[in-house]
Amino acid sequence: MEVPANKKIEMLETMILSRKFSDSLAELCRIERKIPGMMILSTGQEAVGSGVCAALEPEDVIITNHRSHNHLLAKGADPRELMAEIFCKKTGCNKGKSGTLHLAVPEVNAPCTTTVVGGTLPIAVGQAFAQQYKNEPRVTVCFFGDGAANEGSFHEALNLAALWQLPVIFGCENNLYAGAQRYEEHTRVQDMARRAEAYDMPGVTVDGNYAPEVYRAAREARQLALEGRGPTLIECKTYRCRGHGESDPQHYQPGDEIRAWQEKCPIPRLGDELVSLGVIPSERIKEMESLAEKIVENAVRFAEESPYPEPHEALEDVYV
Amino acid sequence: MQVMQKLGMGQAVNQALREEMRRDPRVFIAGEGVGVSIHVNPMFPTHGLLEEFGPGRVKDTPVSEAAIAGLAVGAAEAGLRPVVEIMFNPFFTLASDMIVNHAAKLRYLSGGKSTFPLVVRIKSGAGFGAGCQHSHNLEAWAAHCPGLKVVMPSTPADAKGLLKSSIRDGNPVIFIEHMGLYFAPMPVPEEEYLTPLGKADIKREGRNLTVVTWSGMLGVAMGAAEMLSREGIETEIVDLRTLAPLDKETILNSVAKTGRLIVLHEATRTGGFAGEIAAVVMEEGFKHLKAPLRRVTGPDIPVPASPPLEQFYIPDENDLVRAAKEIF
Ligand SMILES: Cc1ncc(C[n+]2csc(CCOP(=O)(O)OP(=O)(O)O)c2C)c(N)n1
């Protein structure tokens, strides 16, 4: 399948936005400590969320995890509301109830985010079941890490989705680490995608640092799902360039490993390709960068200037 | 003479683990990052254990709570002394089939023939801006399961002695550590000692009001007791230390002395363990009460992330003082 040029440009844009967004959060955590809670970023992994979401239509659903910012931005969430929520402000997309870890943006069909590892998969199965039940031409993607594939929920969800041929895409973001445990310290099988065989569904391993390849796999899986041919497991091999969270000094990640993967950064990789193939002029990338910078600056300002919720608002939103 | 050291609760837990692992080769630990951790911080409970005891006894596991808990159940019956870690209290739910349906019940089902001497250490507590999927206190769930012991220390010194007793106990023990206590060093005896399970501890004596509490709320109780003392109300603080088995005697004796009771916990209110203590006192100590008892607890909401909301959630000294004034 040819990946359309406009899609490649879209992926580059969302990756650049996502990178600016996380760079700014990393900086705020480091020097200013303005943001409560844990800060978990996707730096270096942007091709996964950007590639998958470019392959989706607005009506498709994503269910994402603790490392959600890139997925949500790529799905079209408002950076200002995300940033304000990450700052735990009243104007955040979840009124300060979530903070950075459980950002829910139903407006873009990202109705819930869970930080319980492995939680995204069964929920996605439920969403896909509803889509099948109502005969809707749309699909659900769940994102999860390589670590999550060792929770029981992974296996139960894959089996059920395959059994009922549900329109769901299991998006495994294999960034080589689960906390401080390197992949081979928690999993024996070399490619996580091979586990798909056990449930009799297609399993593909793609270069998770090359957005067009992620796009292609997701688009094909979406097509299968829409045709009633069930779920697909896509394993995107990528790398966690920063610590698990911003307070993690990465003492267990070899420096040359980090540098080698930084060399494979998905953003220049796609950007250079588009420029060298003459799809866009190099100035266009500069424009994308300065636009992203403005968006992020604006979001941070909005978040900083916004008030915190009033204490008693804690009591709201428990029940309908 | 007792030689004292100043340790946070994580360090005290660490010392208990070290002592027990040195003493008993059957003791091993397992969990997510108990060996190689993202934290390089001596205040954390398993810091440095891999270096001392090696990967055969300090087992880093996949992110698989059901398997971690099941590992403990199976290995305990087979003669080892597992001490496994669940990273945050809400992830107890993923381990709970093995703990609730198995660890708690299999001895009984065997007619007392099989035993399951294991410890599940759980990090807990609000106050970190991490939100409800990391901060939900579920001790009442565990205490609701006959067959489990539930321990919640409030000081580093207690944590050391209680964990050592838990490891030597013949039963499954749920050992819940409030992370807020990891970073507040307090005196801990250097020597080896055991603190018995099932015994509450009077952390402050007083004759007008009994406050029963545990874990991270002890500090709040102590602070409020100072404030009340300035107004002439002398508070006795009963630190439960163990929820199951419950030391009714210490609670009832204190209420008999003071005639007034407040139960304080960080967990949410409805179905919280304060209700159990209130019921015990109503059933067995009603005649001593001079006023209705009170509960001071988190409200019935998931713990919100935003700092002012989270502060609203966590009970504080003023909440306790206000409740006390209602019953004088
Ligand atoms: C059920 C559960 N167990 C443990 C944790 C703590 N935890 C948060 S992220 C994480 C590692 C997850 O690794 P992976 O799924 O590979 O995702 P990554 O962080 O690498 O994106 C762990 C153990 C959790 N949030 N939920």
Q: Which chain A residues have a beta carbon less than 8 Å from that of B309? A: 88, 96-97, 309, 311, 313-314
Q: List CB contacts of A188: < 8 A, sequence separation 6 or more.
A: none
- Assess whether the C-beta atom of A178 lies below 6 angstroms from ligand 1: yes
Tell me the torsion sign for CA atoms B243, B32, B193, B168: positive
CATH number of A171's domain: 3.40.50.970
Average pLDDT over residues B55-82: 98
Q: What was the pLDDT predicted at A33? A: 73
Neighbours of A149 (CB within 10 A): 28
A320 is a domain residue:
no
| Sheet of B209-213, strand order | B201-204, B235-239, B209-213, B261-268, B294-298
| DSSP letter, residue B113 | -
Residue A237 in 3-state DSSP?
strand
Q: How far is the CA of B60 from the centre of ligand 1 (A)?
A: 14
> pLDDT per residue over B6-48, tens digit each?
999 999 999 999 999 999 999 999 999 999 999 999 999 999 9
B65 is catalytic: yes
Q: Is A243 on the interface with B (CB under 8 A)?
A: yes
Q: Which chain A residues have a beta carbon less than 8 Å from that of B66? A: 151-152
Q: What was the pLDDT predicted at A93? A: 98
User: In chain B, which residues fall in CATH 3.40.50.970?
Assistant: 4-189
Is residue B30 within a helix (H) or strand (E), and if so which, with residue range? strand B27-31
pTM: 0.98
Place of tokens 């050592």: B164
CA angle B280, B242, B68 (to 5 degrees): 125
Going by alpha carbons, the residue nearest to atom 12 of ligand 1 is A178
What is the count of structural domains for chain A? Answer: 1
A316 is a domain residue:
no
Q: Is A242 on the interface with B (CB under 8 A)?
A: no
Is residue A218 within a helix (H) or strand (E), and if so which, with residue range? helix A211-226
Both tokens assigned to A180: 């401080």
CA angle B73, B76, B82 (to 5 degrees): 90
Asked if B180 and B125 count as a contact pair (C-beta separation under 8 A), the reply is yes
pLDDT band, residue A31 (cuts 50/70/90): confident
Q: What was the pLDDT predicted at A278? A: 97
Residue of B38, B63, B313 lying closest to A243 (CB–CB)? B38
Q: What was the pLDDT predicted at B1? A: 66
Residue of B62, B66, B307 lying closest to A308 (CB–CB)? B307
Closest approach of chain B CAs to the CA of A40, in angstroms? 11
Q: A98–B128: do the CB atoms touch at under 8 Å?
A: no
Q: List CB contacts of A214: < 8 A, sequence separation 6 or more.
A: A47, A48, A50, A51, A52, A55, A206, A207, A208, A234, A236
Q: Is A58 on the interface with B (CB under 8 A)?
A: no
> What is the largest distance, in Å, between two alpha-carbon atoms of chain B?
58
Asked if B29 and B57 count as a contact pair (C-beta separation under 8 A), the reply is yes
- Assess whether the C-beta atom of B32 lies below 6 angstroms from ligand 1: yes
Residue A16 in 3-state DSSP?
helix
Q: B36–A248: do the CB atoms touch at under 8 Å?
A: no
The mean of the pLDDT values for chain B is 98
Q: A186–B63: do the CB atoms touch at under 8 Å?
A: yes
Which residue of B lies nearest to A316 if distances are taken between CA atoms?
B301
Average pLDDT over residues A275-291: 98
Neighbours of B52 (CB within 10 A): 12
Nearest partner of B162 among B151, B150, B174, judged by Cα = B151
Asked if A70 and A76 count as a contact pair (C-beta separation under 8 A), the reply is no
Q: Is the pLDDT of residue B222 over 80?
A: yes
Fold of the domain built from segment(s) B4-189: Rossmann fold (3.40.50)
Q: What was the pLDDT predicted at B137? A: 97
Annotated catalytic residue within B85, B102, B134, B178: B134
Average pLDDT over residues A277-282: 97
The reply to whether CATH 3.40.50.920 applies to domain B201-326 is yes
User: Count of CB contacts below 8 A, A vs B?
Assistant: 127
Going by alpha carbons, the residue nearest to atom 21 of ligand 1 is A145
Average pLDDT over residues A165-173: 98
Average pLDDT over residues B118-128: 97
Q: What was the pLDDT predicted at A32? A: 76
The mean of the pLDDT values for chain A is 97
Looking at residue A49, its amino acid is G
How much of chain B exceeds pLDDT 90, in percent?
Answer: 99
Pairing of strands A168-174, A177-178: unpaired
What is the distance between the alpha carbons of residues B46 and B35, in angstroms, rounded to a whole number?
7
Q: Which chain B residues have a beta carbon less than 8 Å from that of A116? A: 90-91, 94, 133
Going by alpha carbons, the residue nearest to atom 5 of ligand 1 is A117
> pLDDT per residue over A126-168, tens digit each?
999 999 999 999 999 999 999 999 999 999 999 999 999 999 9
Residue B151 in 3-state DSSP?
strand
> pLDDT per residue over A209-266, tens digit each?
999 999 999 999 999 999 999 999 999 999 999 999 999 999 999 999 999 999 999 9
A95 is a domain residue:
yes
Q: How far is the CA of B150 from the centre of ligand 1 (A)?
A: 26
User: In chain B, which residues fall in CATH 3.40.50.920?
Assistant: 201-326
Q: List CB contacts of A270: < 8 A, sequence separation 6 or more.
A: A8, A11, A12, A15, A47, A210, A211, A212
Q: How far is the CA of A68 from the centre of ligand 1 (A)?
A: 12
Residue A141 in 3-state DSSP?
strand
Q: A97–B39: do the CB atoms touch at under 8 Å?
A: no
Average pLDDT over residues A271-277: 98
Asked if A237 and A205 count as a contact pair (C-beta separation under 8 A), the reply is yes
> pLDDT per residue over B284-309, tens digit each?
999 999 999 999 999 999 999 999 99
Q: Is the pLDDT of residue B234 over 80?
A: yes
Domain residue limits at A190 = 5-306
Place of tokens 């949410």: B268
Residue A288 in 3-state DSSP?
helix
Name the residue of A70, A117, A172 whose CB sits within 8 Å of the most ligand 1 atoms, as the mutation to test its pocket.
A117
Q: List CB contacts of A153: < 8 A, sequence separation 6 or more.
A: A118, A119, A121, A122
Q: What was the pLDDT predicted at A37? A: 85
